[in-house]
A and B are shown apart, each in its own frame.
Chain A
Amino acid sequence: MSIAKNFFEIFSLPASWEIDHSVLDKKFRTLQLTFHPDRYANKNDFEKRLAVQTASTINQAYETLSSPLLRAQYLLKLEGFDADQESHITSDGQFLMQQMVLREALSDVKDCANPKDALVSLSIEAQQAAAKIQADFAQYFNTKDYNQAFDALAKMQFACKFVSDISSLEAELEEL
């Protein structure tokens, strides 16, 4: 189906790392106001099915462009780097060291006198690290240094996983 074009084109946005989220949000709602299956409740079954497919594509495109990690993956995919990143591990020793230190800090949180505070400061540190990697990615991608960008993407995955592990632990601490 021809709607399965590039996710940026669906929103008439340029394929770039920088994205104006308020514009994206607005365009997303405009498109769903037109294509959501609720708009097709009275149409025939084929149009209904097409609306489900179209709305699904719009949702997926929105999800991809909204998330820094998914957007970075997608941009590189458009450049021909089909990012099956599990096979790629960064060789940046300094980065790996930093991740190890962060991981250790995370596993020690539960034994801290005040785990919640410890987690908050760790969370801030992790987010700063993530922001730094995103900035690196942006720089490499914008200067078309795709190999470096690809390496930055692998780091981004590390960082994202770490932020989500912090969030799980936060949930765990709250339950106690």
Chain B
Amino acid sequence: MALLQISEPGQSPQPHQRKHAVGIDLGTTNSLVATVRSSSADILPDEQGRNLLPSVVHYETEGVSCVGYEAAEHNSSDPLNTLTSIKRLMGRGIGDIKRLGNSLPYDFAADDGGMPKIKTAYGPVSPIQVSAEILRKLAGRAELAFEGMLDGAVITVPAYFDEAQRQATKDAATLAGIKVLRLLNEPTAAAIAYGLDAEENEDTSAQRLIAVYDLGGGTFDISILRLSKGVFEVLATGGDSALGGDDLDHAIANWLCSELGMTHDLDPVEQRVLLETAKCAKEELTESDKVELDILDAKLVLTKDQLHELVDSLIDQTLSACKRAIRDAGVKINQIEEVVLVGGSTRMPRVGQKVAELFDRQPKCSLDPDLVVAMGAAKQAEVLIGNKSADDMLLLDVIPLSLGIETMGGLTEKLIHRNTTIPVAKAQEFTTFKDGQTAMSIHVVQGDRELVSDCRSLARFELRGIPPMVAGSAKIQVSYQVDADGLLNVSARELSSGVESSIEVKPSYGLTDNEITQMLQDSFSHARDDMRLRALREQQVEADRMLEDLRAAIDKDGESLLDTTELKCLQVALDELQVLRESCDDHRQLANQIESIGKSSEDFAARRMDVSIKQALAGLSLDEALDK
């Protein structure tokens, strides 16, 4: 048992100040929730003590009937209403899904060009809704364990997830009523869980290179990280967000199919039976050299060698991605000092064997590959929510795929290249094609190919009101800003006239803000007041935060960085906010005051940033400076 902690006299943390944060691994096959207790990351199990939650949701006419183990029991009997591997559909369009082949035995509702919906007894449901059900179930586990509300969560995503897939994940959390502290890349989470920085404390100048190989149920990631003194710097990442253990199962199922001479189109029940058998065979063969299978009144034998023949080409695909990531990182394979295996599919001995061959070293897998990502996420959640000092840990992650814009001829011009450290902002100037052109269509794409048609379309928007000019003389500045979650904001501006247009990229296959609001309203339809109260509560928290932050800032830097008028104005505005905070029950009014103070204090904040840059470089952190 882990030892319990007792704090130093006079420094006891106030119990009511401790916030409840969790890390959530929203997986293709299984999901988990973990939290930090007594400085170690623990998985929060269900009432039966089970760590995993199968990522399965079962629908009946009334709505969701069950989630997890119970839902999985309907797998073979009611396949069309039992939704599994839903993560593979997140942020995908109907075209992508067709590319995945018949691997998902669902009926899709008619294609309206947007996000695909799956037909169920309850009606059409979107992958985001299904994921929200899984998240809600996990949040329930956490709230039971905390005996209180959940304050925030770090949710992990495959490093190779694109913008649309990340946004879909965040939307699912919003639907489930979970505050997302950060979307964290799964391999980075695993690196934190291993505490790979902890071992090198004796030699603080040491830098080490590690590779995290993460093969999950439906996704594959490889990340190359450089570790030094608590800084986790991702140098490069690569992978395939549609390659995982599921595909290994399909390869085996296809073999079964041809052995059994099944040439007709399989019905959903047959598909599930084949997949279940394939999965069992794969698992059996981790221990033994051959397995006998009873399937649909036939007997078959699968040997280990046969299995390898079936899966090797898929594993080789992951190894190619590893090589590319190593090249992108600008390192040599023999400089990598540690290889870590993550994800349930790395349990297959063949995977470990091939990875060991490539890197010429034995990979590390001392932590349970199913649990490690959630544990790492819990550790970061603990830091972000403010329970733990952040001084000793920093994650510098990268964007997995280049972000670009469509130019004449359907070509992609990249504004931000893959493996650029985030957050990042880039701007580039473009011009008009025709004389007198007054509008411009901005098409935002993601991918590394030259042709727009080979990249993923993220969003389109228009900049209008460009003053008529000769072709090529207007200067349109397009700016991309990617935040620490890897989410993109785009704005465009005509420089001579200042006409501006901006968009928070909502992927074509995601939900619009209105849809999210609508869904939230639906889920609160019996308690409208609840929703209003919730909005008010959120603004009150934001107001408290602002009052606290700005008053502290004024105490510290007010005299040195603001003139008397500025100081006076700011103080008056803050006092007004304080009054509103106590008395006002209209969340919009509160939000307006917050917005206006935020704008008027931007300069002050920028000046403070400048000062602290100097202090940071002088070896002073903000906190130390405050202490003096």
Name A residues whose Cβ lies closer than 8 Å to a Cβ of B: 1-3, 10-12, 27, 29-39, 41-47, 50, 52-57, 59-60, 62-63, 167, 170-171, 174-175
Which residues of the other chain, A, contact B394 by a CB distance below 8 angstroms? 29, 32-33, 36, 38
* Residues of chain A with a CB closer than 8 A to B229's CB: 29
A132 to B421: give the CA distance in the assembly, Å.
Answer: 29
Q: Please indicate which of the listed interface residues A11, A32, A38, A174 has the most CB atoms of chain B within 10 Å of its own CB.
A: A38
B607 at the interface (CB under 8 A from A): yes
Contact B420 A3 (CB under 8 A): no
Chain B residues with Cβ under 8 A from A45's Cβ?
542, 598
Residues of A within 8 A of B619 (CB): 30
> Are A35 and B609 closer than 8 Å at their CB atoms?
yes
Interface residues of B in 310-351 (CB under 8 A from A): 320, 323-324, 327
| Contact A167–B481 (Cβ < 8 Å) | no
Q: Which residues of chain B are near A171, meaning CB under 8 Å? A: 323-324, 327
- Residues facing A in B471-491 (CB within 8 A) are 481, 483-484
- Interface size for B (C-beta < 8 A) is 51
The 3 closest A-B CB pairs, nearest first, are A46-B598, A56-B425, A41-B384
Query: Is B484's CB under 8 angstroms from A52's CB?
Result: yes
Question: In the complex, which of the residues A12, A32, A38, A63 contacts B384, with contact meaning CB atoms closer than 8 Å?
Answer: A38
Q: Is B181 located at the chain interface by the 8 A CB criterion?
A: yes
The complex places the Cα of A32 from the Cα of B231 at a distance, in Å, of 10
**Chain B 585-628 residues near chain A, CB threshold 8 A:** 594, 598-599, 601-602, 605-607, 609-610, 612-614, 616-617, 619, 621-622
Can you list 12 pairs linking A and B with CB atoms under 8 Å apart? A31-B616, A33-B231, A35-B612, A36-B484, A37-B423, A38-B394, A43-B545, A44-B546, A46-B546, A46-B599, A50-B605, A59-B421
Which B residues are within 8 Å of any A CB, using their own CB? 181-182, 228-229, 231, 320, 323-324, 327, 380, 383-386, 390-391, 394-396, 420-426, 481, 483-484, 542, 545-546, 549, 594, 598-599, 601-602, 605-607, 609-610, 612-614, 616-617, 619, 621-622
Q: CB distance B481 to A56 under 8 Å?
A: yes
Contacts of B602 in A (CB 8 A): 46, 50
Given known contacts A3-B606, A46-B598, A36 and B545 CB-to-CB distance under 8 angstroms: no
Task: Give the docked Cα–Cα distance between A56 and B483 (Å).
Answer: 8
Contacts of B420 in A (CB 8 A): 59, 63
State A29–B327 Cα separation when bound (angstroms): 23
A45 vs B181: C-alpha distance in the bound complex, in angstroms?
13
B599 CB to closest chain A CB, in angstroms? 8
Establish whether residues A30 and B484, one from each chain, have CB atoms under 8 Å apart when the complex forms.
no
Residue of A nearest to B420 (CB): A63
B424 touching A10, Cβ below 8 Å? no
Complex contact A53–B425 (CB within 8 A) = yes
CB distance from A70 to the nearest CB of B (A): 12
Specify which of B181, B228, B616 is in contact with A41 (CB 8 Å cutoff): B181
A60 touches B607 (CB 8 A): no
Are B384 and A52 touching (Cβ within 8 A)? no
Which of A33, A39, A54, A171 counts the most chain B CB atoms within 10 A? A33
Question: What's the Cα separation between A175 and B383 when bound, in Å?
Answer: 41
**CB closest chain-B residue, reference A58:** B613
Q: Is the CB of B390 within 8 A of A38?
A: yes
Contacting residue for A12 out of B324, B546, B617, CB 8 A = B617
A22 CB, min distance to chain B CBs, angstroms: 9
4 further contact pairs, Cβ within 8 A, besides A30-B617, A46-B602, A55-B423: A31-B613, A33-B231, A42-B545, A59-B420
Contacts of B616 in A (CB 8 A): 30-31, 33-35
Query: In whole angstroms, how far apart are the Cα atoms of A120 and B412 in the complex?
Result: 31
* Max count, chain B CB within 10 A of own CB: residue among A29, A37, A44: A44
Q: Closest CB of chain A to B260's CB: distance in Å?
A: 35
Cβ-defined contact, B601 with A46, below 8 A: yes
In the complex, what residues of B have CB within 8 A of residue A167's CB? 327
Partner of A43, one of B231, B327, B549: B549
Report chain B residues within 8 Å CB of A32: 231, 394, 396
